[in-house]
């Protein structure tokens, strides 16, 4: 099987583990501190690959665009998301906000990059969002999530983070379609550090306890998420429609729930199972190749 067929499934499996990693990392480190260390090691790892593979580095214009895209794809996105969850945004509500990204991408793509979806693809995006709502509805109805007044600022930051990754994804598609992805990924982590280091120095005590769990979470964050997951995301954006790549985000909450069931014994609810079926249907419709109209039909 080609990488084009395997990449979406591998991306979902890798990216979904980020929620599990975040659960462990929050116990052992402050969010900006952990992310700054992760970005630094990820950038160095990609730099090592560039040197080993003798990758051609882009010119100044493309290099600037790579750094700029990293500010939004990594810096503002993960920084805002981790900070919001650490400051009171419930996981269920954060899941709904995360599920807005494919819809935001589909709505912004025609304006920013001229990408338009067919009717079945638009229907798939809506189905994906409905499936997420069904899957996490028990969490939204939990009394613990009823009063969100105390989390108004974290909620706003969470929403800004989603807008940030949406913009970063579209910018990547429009301005970074050529050039070796390894140097581009390296420079994107430079952009992420430009945002995250000042936040760490300004608002945190730079706590990282160095425990085995913290080190394991960091290693997987660098190798599995930053190199594997992000590398595949950049590949998917370059190879196909950006709205199709973004629609894979819909699969994250159900996949995380399955992983939590295996790893922690958390129950699988009926809404989760039904919502997952709807989500998979929606992602299939969004990613199904468009029908090629024969020339004879076009001329009729």
200: pLDDT strictly greater than 80 = yes
Query: Which has the higher per-residue pLDDT, 154 or 209?
Result: 209
221: pLDDT strictly greater than 70 = yes
Q: How many CB atoms lie within 10 A of CB 184?
A: 26
pLDDT for res 149: 55
**Between helices 31-52 and 181-203, what is the axis angle to 10°?**
160
Which segment, 12-26, 63-77, 165-179, is predicted with the most confidence on average?
A: 63-77
What is the average per-residue pLDDT within 162-187? 89
Q: Which residue has the tokens 């399955």?
A: 258
Work out the pLDDT band at 204, boundaries 50, 70, 90: very high
> Burial of 247 by CB count in 10 Å (0-12 exposed, 13-18 middle, 19+ buried)?
buried
pLDDT digits over 104-141, tens only?
676 777 766 676 767 777 787 778 778 767 766 666 56
Q: What is the CA radius of gyration of the chain?
A: 19
pLDDT for res 247: 66
Query: Which among 187, 202, 250, 207 has a CA at the least distance from the CA of 60?
Result: 187
Query: Which among 122, 80, 102 has a CA at the least distance from the CA of 250?
Result: 102
Q: Could you give the C-alpha distances from 127 to 20, 226, 250, 284, 300, in angstroms and in order?
A: 26, 29, 10, 10, 33
Query: Which has the higher per-residue pLDDT, 284 or 77?
Result: 77
**Between helices 181-203 and 77-86, what is the axis angle to 10°?**
40
Query: Which has the higher per-residue pLDDT, 146 or 219?
Result: 219
pLDDT for res 218: 94
DSSP letter at 223 equals: I
Work out the pLDDT band at 51, boundaries 50, 70, 90: very high
pLDDT digits over 235-249, tens only?
877 776 555 666 676
Q: Which residue has the tokens 């805002």?
A: 80
Rounded to whole angstroms, the Cα distance separating 32 from 204 reads 8
- Alpha-helical runs (H) found in 176-229: 181-203, 212-220
- HSE at residue 112, side-chain half, CA atoms within 13 A, is 18
Chain-centroid distance of CA 271 in Å reads 24
Work out the pLDDT band at 41, boundaries 50, 70, 90: very high
pLDDT digits over 223-274, tens only?
998 888 888 878 877 776 555 666 676 676 667 667 667 765 666 678 777 8
What is the average per-residue pLDDT within 179-204? 95
Work out the pLDDT band at 297, boundaries 50, 70, 90: very low
pLDDT for res 37: 96
pLDDT digits over 52-69, tens only?
999 999 999 999 999 999
pLDDT for res 139: 60
Work out the pLDDT band at 190, boundaries 50, 70, 90: very high
């Amino acid at each position: 099987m080609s990488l084009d067929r395997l990449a979406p499934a591998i991306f979902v499996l890798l990216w979904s583990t980020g929620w599990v990693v975040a659960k462990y990392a929050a116990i052992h480190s402050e969010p900006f501190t952990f992310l700054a260390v992760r970005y630094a090691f990820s950038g160095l790892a990609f730099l090592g690959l560039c040197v080993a593979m003798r990758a051609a580095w882009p010119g100044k214009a493309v290099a600037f665009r790579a750094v700029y895209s990293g500010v939004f794809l990594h810096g503002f996105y993960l920084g805002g998301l981790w900070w919001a969850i650490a400051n009171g945004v419930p996981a269920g509500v954060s899941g709904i906000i995360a599920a807005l990204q494919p819809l935001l991408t589909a709505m912004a793509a025609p304006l920013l990059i001229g990408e338009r979806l067919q009717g079945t693809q638009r229907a798939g995006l809506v189905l994906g969002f409905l499936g997420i709502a069904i899957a996490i509805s028990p969490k939204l109805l939990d009394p613990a999530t009823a009063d969100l007044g105390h989390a108004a600022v974290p909620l706003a930051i969470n929403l800004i983070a989603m807008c940030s990754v949406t913009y970063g994804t579209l910018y990547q598609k429009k301005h970074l379609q050529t050039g070796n992805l390894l140097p581009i990924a390296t420079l994107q982590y430079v952009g992420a550090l430009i945002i995250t280091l000042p936040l760490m120095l300004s608002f945190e005590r730079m706590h990282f306890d160095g425990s085995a769990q913290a080190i394991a979470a960091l290693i997987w964050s660098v190798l599995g998420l930053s190199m594997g997951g992000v590398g595949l995301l950049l590949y998917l954006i370059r190879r196909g429609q950006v709205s199709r790549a973004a629609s894979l985000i819909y699969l994250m909450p159900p996949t995380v729930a399955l992983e939590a069931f295996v790893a922690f014994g958390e129950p699988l609810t009926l809404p989760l199972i039904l919502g997952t079926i709807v989500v998979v249907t929606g992602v299939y419709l969004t990613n199904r190749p468009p029908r090629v109209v024969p020339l004879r039909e076009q001329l009729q």
